Structure 1
């Protein structure tokens, strides 16, 4: 079973999965701090669907950070973790990662303990998340073009691309596609027909949305909805 809640950390989500996770994780522009018994991982941004395969492990918890927020808090650039899951020990050191893993292993609510860790990191971060990129994300989430979003924050195309790689793992055009797909999926979950969801999210038509699903998720929209409901 999967469940999530809004975090006390701005823009973040705390989630937990129990039992085998057959549902693919689709690109969403986010990074996660992920716990499974005995291990802490940083889940980088995805450019394609990720299907968790961890034999013998049936419990997971995580904090999913807002797009662009994790690098400043976790201490690793998004493009260094693109399409990867890396051990926290590789970034924070073995001793620190082991201490934190043991603490979360013993917690009654691992998700809440992870959230507390994320909040502490946010309070002590030497460099906070880039506020200009947060504004770009808001623009793109509302359906703005990349050019309009860049202009609204006073960034040129090269500067925006460079900052985007570190914050999101990929350029702003890919981020815009990912966020558009997420908008369409949110509408589908609300019961909006596929064609109407495609247009409302900013796709040219349902066929455009279908192509984006195949390229970014590797499955058809109907197959993804069926797997998520199974």
Structure 2
């Protein structure tokens, strides 16, 4: 069983109970801090679909941070942990790691206050104007050179800032945002061919190829599983 609590500014606290693992999770470019059997780990920004791990005795809990935001809390180059699961203590300072543990470990014992995680969400939203603007541009498939000239001064500087802040390049972010849009449209019941055109794919085969890479299934399989 999976459930999540959405914070006001886009972050989320999720819980999974009783999963044996192996479920497919689409790439979303997010970073998750995950609690499982007393261990707190960081799932770096995802750029390909992944399979979930087995839940702990009391389930798994995660604090999901929107693309381009996690560096503000973790303080590291996110490209170094892209598509990896690493111990929290290995990627951030003691104070931040302690705050995450203090906020999350009580969740395994039952309902617990989430004020610290809410505060994290507020802090992230207040400090991520640059990354949020980049996400909006990517959702509209704006050209990298145009965004670079207005947001970072040069394409080289822009590429470097993308890797540090998001953990991947701008072209990957465009693909992730396009996939997110396509999944929303498919859930709404829109025909697959229409989704391909509306979401900005060259054609339906292009949509299918991207879905297999990023979602781990064909569009038809995704629709069937979401029904």
1:40-74 per-residue CA deviation (whole Å, 9 max, x = no partner) reads 12111112111012265561222211211111112
Asked if the contact 2:33–2:40 (Cα under 8 Å) also holds between the matched residues in 1, the reply is: yes
Deviation of residue 227 (structure 1)? Answer: 4.1
1:172 counterpart (166, 170, 173): 170
Number of equivalences: 222
2:135 counterpart (134, 137, 140): 137
Q: Which residue of 2 aligns with 1:71?
A: 71
Per the normalisation by structure 2, the TM-score is 0.83
What does residue range 102-181 of structure 1 map to in structure 2 within 5 Å? 102-109=105-112, 113=114, 116-121=115-120, 129-153=127-151, 155-181=153-179
Asked if the contact 1:15–1:61 (Cα under 8 Å) also holds between the matched residues in 2, the reply is: yes
Q: Which residue of 2 aligns with 1:51?
A: 51
Distance 1:17 1:123 in 2: 24
| Deviating more after overlay: 37-46 vs 17-26 | 17-26
Distance 1:4 1:99 in 2: 19
Aligned pair 1:84/2:87, yes or no? no
| Deviating more after overlay: 84-93 vs 144-153 | 144-153
SS in 2 for 1:181: helix
SS in 2 for 1:105: helix
1:185 counterpart (183, 186, 195): 183
- C-alpha change, 1:118 and 1:75, in structure 2 (3 Å) is farther
1:221 counterpart (216, 219, 223): 219
- C-alpha change, 1:29 and 1:209, in structure 2 (3 Å) is same
Q: Structure 1: any 5+ residue segments left out of the alignment?
A: none
- C-alpha change, 1:58 and 1:24, in structure 2 (3 Å) is farther
Per the normalisation by structure 1, the TM-score is 0.82
| Deviating more after overlay: 48-57 vs 154-163 | 48-57
Deviation of residue 220 (structure 1)? Answer: 1.9
Q: Which residue of 2 aligns with 1:199?
A: 197
Q: Which residue of 1 aligns with 2:34?
A: 34
Distance 2:143 2:36 in 1: 38
| Deviating more after overlay: 16-25 vs 89-98 | 89-98
1:124-153 per-residue CA deviation (whole Å, 9 max, x = no partner) reads 78xx74532221111112343333433443
